[in-house]
Amino acid sequence: MALLEVNNLSTWFHTRNGVVKAVDDVSFSVAEGETLAIVGESGSGKSVCCYSLLGLIPMPPGKIESGTALFNGRDLLALSERELRGIRGNEIATIFQDPMTSLNPYLTIGEQLIEPLIYHRDMSRKKARIRAIELLDAVGIPRAEHRFDSYAFQFSGGMRQRVMIAMALIAEPRLLIADEPTTALDVTIQAQTLKLISELQTQRNLAVIFISHDLAVVANIADRVAVMKDGKIVETNTTTAIYSKPQHPYTQTLLKAIPDGGKVQQADIADTPLLEICRLKTWFNISGKKNTRSGKKDTRKKSDGSAKGSSANDHTVKAVDDVTLTIRRHEILGIVGESGSGKSTLGRSILQLVKPTGGSVKYGGDELTTLSRRQMKPYRRRMQMIFQDPYASLNPRMSVFDALAEPLLYHGLATRKTVLAEVLALMDDVGLAADSIRKYPHEFSGGQRQRIAIGRAIATKPEFIIADEPVSALDVTIQAQILELILQLVDKHNLTMLFISHDLSVVRYICDRVAVMHQGKLIESGATETLWHHPQQSYTQSLLAAVPSLQASHN
Amino acid sequence: MSTDATLANITDAEQGSSLWKDAWHRLRKNKMAVGGLFVLMLMCIAALLTPWLAPYSYEEQNLILGAAPPSAQHWLGTDTLGRDLLTRLLYGGRISLAVGFIATAVALLIGVLYGTVAGYFGGRIDAVMMRLVDILYALPFMIFIILLMVIFGRNILLLFLAIGAVEWLTMARIVRGQVQTLRQQEFVEAAVSLGLSQWTIISRHLIPNTLGPVIVYTTLTIPSVMLFEAFLSFLGLGIQPPQSSWGLLISYGVETMEEYPWLLIFPGLALSITLFALNFLGDGLRDALDPRTSKD
């Protein structure tokens, strides 16, 4: 018998611009000890669906229009707020996406852990503390007894997510709703967290609803998968069936959009280097206020960088440490690494957006690190950057026309007379409709915004582009389109690209060569397929092993 | 909108940023804001044409008449010295509006530039600039203004400058805070990597994005400056009789409120209407300058 049985659930949002059917006639069930994954892209209603069950959607504008949700024989949708409170965190627990913001920064984690025990179970503090420490131990927090009195900021992202899991499990719930629990985590941490969740599930015979946008993650953990699109479940089936014989066209699109396999090798990579990076160091001094946030403003040091380096101590973060790298013309070089590995700082140091502490960056033979802002200007035109977050990388008060015309006019690549034609050509290049020229960024979706940002980057006809996680904020089908666009443009304009990403399957799909970064150091590099199949360093091996892949689930 | 129409639009929008043009379009659709703008313009025209519009001279007394309620000769009545209130209101409006707008413009100009520079460059420059602001804040500014008056003599223009010189401090702090957050956004980094000059980044990418709070604060500053002028004049540091301003008229009106209420009501109305108009215009401007609030 199913533990939770949802029938014909509809949750609509009544907004000024009409009704949004966030969840539209959805039915599913979860049995004890089973993992159901709800998969869909952003806005598909997968989260709203679960929050409706717990009474956690804002009402109004939200309203549950119809449906029943039988949990253990009781209809959740018919319960009063008071009764629901008895169920939330007690019988049904939730893990949220972002471990950074879902813990209260002002309370120790122990305090937050024992809260449900004291509320729901009337347990004494002493007993609750013992339980909590046991559980912290079970989720793999080392020295749990000491960490009980730590605050959230004293934990890393992965550890915080473990604390969140402990918190969810402390009242011994029967159903766990995990809303994108690993999306904010690094790939190796993600693998550990997923393993932990499935272990705990087997031990405790938990039912789990696992909400995710990532089909590859889901493949390794779920028993059954429900695919959601536009508020409807379009297909539900066992995991194996979904991946081997997807029925619905949307499921097929989703599966196809996952970058899989290697890049079709491009032939025309020249042997001439475009960029030579030699012993590049970018260190931040975090003891003073300087440099961590205002690195790019640091005009103070020029050649005394090495002198500063020698006085390095505990307060110095070596974001980029002694990196030597050559980028050849017309190649796409991938930089992979986990968060904090210094891959973004490396990109910014190459572009001199952050002044390196030492070492050299030669662009076509010219040294960049010693140039002043003014001397940099001609190089700026030739080197561009695409940023991760298309919501933050576009000025909200500049229309598409303004954003694309600015670099053209500023660098004298167009006159006032020709700029309109140039902008339209650019928009055509990146696949934006001409009639959206007067629109502002907020009127576009994430993928379209990234197209604008890409258009801006290629506006100056650069030779070299650094793409810093250009697709990691996008849905998987949009991601596939943007990757396709990038490949197309690289080909059309003969670009050289440094592609920074934490997502190894994306890198494998797009890059000719890959370099792996770990704690500021470049530990390994090589042709993509060679590195994939014969990683030399143990770190690279563990990184590759952690990548969730569809193949793994079939074997 | 069809593509052709859009493109036609664009061809006239090539000059500079389309933000201001779009903002003007949006502002025109906001009836309250247009009403506010209209009222303010009316006030300003009246202030400019006062010498021709005023029925009497502002110092012309009629001691026999004394304080009289509104009548056919004196539409808004007369004050205790028998001076025509309408005339005095018109002349007072000139001073009040001038103080309000000029002093605020001074504050706006200094405050926005200063705050942006401090926030953008950060580090030591920021520290020095903001400490200066702190010091000026701590200075009892009455003494500051008295000093100015003593050194340079009493002068209306100086009064504008003095008030503006005090009011910019808060503006600078607001703008600096805004710029500090904006500076860390990727679009500013994108602008740097496009090779734009610092001035272009400041004027095109930073300042337009600080306008929301700046406009709100400006609409709050104008009335406070007007009242501030009345306060200074009351202390004998600002406008001297027989000249007048709305603030002064109101403070005299308060004294005789019980016997001659019209001496309070009419200047009070003039000030209130101006403030209402300002607020509507300010709200409209703030919305118009933010593309995200537009619904079309």
Q: What separation in angstroms does the CA of A425 have from each of A350, A393, A432, A524?
A: 29, 21, 10, 40
Structure tokens at B115: 């705050």
Residue B145 lies in a domain: yes
Q: What domains can be seen in chain A, in order of their start residue? A: 2-101+173-254 (3.40.50.300), 329-354+369-554 (3.40.50.300)
- Asked whether the beta carbons of A38 and A47 are under 8 A apart, the reply is no
Residue whose tokens read 């060569």: A513
Q: What separation in angstroms does the CA of A352 have from each of A298, A301, A387, A470?
A: 11, 13, 15, 19
Query: Which residues 6+ apart lie within 8 Å of B157 measured at CB?
Result: none
Contact list, B179 vs chain A (CB under 8 Å): none
Tally of CA atoms within 13 A in the half-sphere of B22 that contains its CB: 25
Which CATH number covers residue B170? 1.10.3720.10
Mean pLDDT, range A171-192, rounded to an integer: 82
Strands (E), B110-156: none
* Strand pairing report for A366-367 and A358-363: antiparallel
CA distance B188 to B206: 8
pLDDT at position B175, please? 93
- Chain B: nearest CA to A392, how far in angstroms? 5
The mean pLDDT value of chain A amounts to: 83
pLDDT tier at A555, thresholds 50, 70, 90: very low
A:296-335 residues touching chain B, CB 8 A cutoff? 296-298
Instruction: Flag if A460 and B194 touch (Cβ within 8 Å).
Output: yes
Residue A151 near chain B (CB below 8 Å): no
- Chain B: nearest CA to A169, how far in angstroms? 38
Residue B5 lies in a domain: no
* Strand pairing report for A224-229 and A35-39: parallel
Task: Check residue A473 and report its DSSP letter.
Answer: T
- Chain B: nearest CA to A401, how far in angstroms? 8
pLDDT at position A551, please? 58
Residue B158 lies in a domain: yes
Mean pLDDT, range A134-150, rounded to an integer: 82
Structure tokens at B142: 């009455």
- Asked whether the beta carbons of A453 and A394 are under 8 A apart, the reply is yes
CA distance B70 to A220: 87
pLDDT at position B28, please? 87
B:215-274 residues touching chain A, CB 8 A cutoff? none
Kindly report, residue by residue over A445-500, the tens digit of the pLDDT. 888 899 999 999 999 999 999 999 888 888 888 888 899 999 999 988 989 999 99
Contact list, B205 vs chain A (CB under 8 Å): 395, 398
CA distance A483 to A480: 5
* Strand pairing report for A2-15 and A358-363: unpaired
Split into its structural domains, chain B has a count of 1
Contact list, B10 vs chain A (CB under 8 Å): 401, 420, 437-438
Length of chain B: 296
A:418-477 residues touching chain B, CB 8 A cutoff? 419-420, 434-435, 437-438, 440, 442, 453, 456, 460
Measure the N-to-C terminal CA separation of chain A; round to a whole number of Å: 29
CA distance A129 to A109: 11
Residue B269 lies in a domain: yes
pLDDT tier at A264, thresholds 50, 70, 90: low
Q: Give pLDDT tens digits along chain B (296 positions).
A: 444 444 545 444 444 457 788 888 888 888 889 999 999 999 999 888 888 877 777 777 777 777 777 777 777 777 777 788 888 888 888 888 888 888 888 889 999 999 999 999 888 999 999 999 998 888 777 777 777 777 877 777 777 777 887 888 989 999 999 999 888 888 998 888 888 888 888 888 898 889 888 988 888 888 888 878 877 777 777 777 777 888 888 888 888 888 888 888 888 888 889 888 988 998 888 888 887 765 44
Considering chain A, what percentage of its residues have pLDDT values greater than 90?
11
pLDDT tier at A1, thresholds 50, 70, 90: low
Residue of chain A minimizing CA distance to B1: A435
- Asked whether the beta carbons of A358 and A305 are under 8 A apart, the reply is yes
Instruction: Flag if A384 and B194 touch (Cβ within 8 Å).
Output: yes
- Residue A548 in this model has a pLDDT that exceeds 60: yes
| Stretch among A145-159, A375-389, B208-222 having the lowest mean pLDDT | A145-159
Phi, psi of A134 (to 5 degrees): -55, -45
Instruction: Flag if B3 and A434 touch (Cβ within 8 Å).
Output: yes
- Chain B: nearest CA to A103, how far in angstroms? 24
- Asked whether the beta carbons of B214 and B174 are under 8 A apart, the reply is yes
CA distance A256 to A425: 30
pLDDT at position A21, please? 83
Task: Check residue A263 and report its DSSP letter.
Answer: P
Residue B198 lies in a domain: yes
Kindly report, residue by residue over A94-105, the tens digit of the pLDDT. 888 776 777 888
Q: Which of B1, B130, B187 to mutate to test the interface with A (most CBs of A within 10 A)?
A: B187
Instruction: Flag if B14 and A419 touch (Cβ within 8 Å).
Output: yes
Query: Which residue among A397, A402, A407 sits closest to B209, beta carbon to beta carbon?
Result: A397
Look up the domain containing B30 and give its range: 20-293
H helices present in A205-248, as ranges: 215-219, 239-244
- Chain A: nearest CA to B232, how far in angstroms? 40
> B242: cis peptide before it, omega within 30°?
yes
- Residue A291 in this model has a pLDDT that exceeds 70: no
Residue B202 lies in a domain: yes
Mean pLDDT, range A376-385, rounded to an integer: 89
> Rounded to a whole number, what is the largest CA-CA distance in chain A?
77
Structure tokens at A539: 């770190």
- Asked whether the beta carbons of A479 and A257 are under 8 A apart, the reply is yes
Structure tokens at A314: 């505990």
- Residue A309 in this model has a pLDDT that exceeds 60: no
∠ CA A266-A272-A275, nearest 5°, is 100
Residue of chain A minimizing CA distance to B192: A353
> A441: cis peptide before it, omega within 30°?
no
Residue B272 lies in a domain: yes
pLDDT tier at A270, thresholds 50, 70, 90: low
Residue B8 lies in a domain: no
pLDDT tier at A267, thresholds 50, 70, 90: low
Contact list, A397 vs chain B (CB under 8 Å): 19, 208-209, 289-291
Helix/strand/coil for A248: coil
pLDDT tier at A286, thresholds 50, 70, 90: low
